[in-house]
Structure 1
Amino acid sequence: MTDAALDMPIIDMAVPMPGFPAHQQFVLVRLNDEGLLYAFTSIQDPDLRFLVAPPEPFFPDYAPEIENDVLAALNTKDPDRLLVMVVITAGVNETTANLLAPIIVDRDSRRAMQVVLTDGNMPVRAVMRRDY
């Protein structure tokens, strides 16, 4: 892990990500100057990282409803302080975002969890496009 990543605020998982129970702490490492792509990188194993992005530039109408039990698990006092990140899969022909299971981070408590939304209409592989 780079020295810069070690200086970043550590994000504690309120609930481990599915399939990764041993990874409890992550950092968000910005990958470009625009702040559109990040690596959600495990402190325990820096080789474990997920490509994530804020959904707004790609899916401006995306507004997931966060359940009260998630707010409680994150120790959230103000839902407006939540950071929503979608997990990205970069492919040769297209790049997709998982809109069904975003990672929600409370900016104040620095607690996070990946949430499977109750809205079953959200796609797991939404094609990412950006209007410039």
Structure 2
Amino acid sequence: MKVIETKYNGKLEVAEDRLIAFDQGIPAFEDEKEFVLLPFEEGTPYYTLQSTKTVDLAFIIVNPFSFFPEYRVKLPEATIVQLNITNENDVAIFSLLTVKEPFSETTVNLQAPIVINANKQMGKQLVLGDTAYDRKQPLFQKELVLAKEAK
């Protein structure tokens, strides 16, 4: 067990097998190499991706398919190798939220999903270069806003 201080839940004991290694960090947070996935609030679709090193670094994330069933992510071979993915059922995809006031104006980044190999506890933020998905998609808008034409 590892004791960590969290932004939203205070001090927690976390099993070692729940720690997720981000070997390259997350863009703009390259020194942050270890996170834990926590429910944000019981009974909601929101999670916290909490740094185990920095208390105030906690991203609010969601499963984008819960909000946008037509959303698609094709993992590049390099990501499959980097995260040691051998079974697609081991892959979890999440998207970062930008929480706004009022909450109904919150946006989700569909252009750079968080990809986690749940079996190996390895993750990365994948920047989709060849996509029409927006990085500021309104979360509660049913239709996807396409930022640009896909190449």
**TM-score, normalization: structure 1?**
0.90
Check conservation: 1:15, 1:112, Cα contact below 8 A. Answer: no
1:69 is paired with a residue whose SS is: helix
**TM-score, normalization: structure 2?**
0.80
For structure 1, which runs of at least 5 residues remain unmatched after alignment? none
Structure 1's consecutive aligned runs of 4 or more residues displaced over 3 angstroms after TM superposition are: 2-5
**Which has more radius of gyration?**
2
Residue among 49, 55, 73 paired with 1:46: 55
Pairing of 1:1-132 with structure 2 (within 5 A): 1=5, 2-4=10-12, 6-7=14-15, 9-93=18-102, 94-129=105-140
Q: Percent identity over the alignment?
A: 24
Q: Number of aligned pairs? A: 131
In the aligned structure 2, how far is the partner of 1:95 from the partner of 1:67?
Answer: 29
RMSD: 1.8
For structure 2, which runs of at least 5 residues remain unmatched after alignment? 143-151
The structure showing larger relative contact order (alpha-carbon pairs under 8 Å, at least 6 residues apart) is 1
> One-letter code of the match for 1:80?
N
In the aligned structure 2, how far is the partner of 1:62 from the partner of 1:84?
Answer: 11
Per-residue CA deviations over 1:37-87 (Å, capped at 9, x if unaligned) read 111000011211111011122111111111110010101111231000000
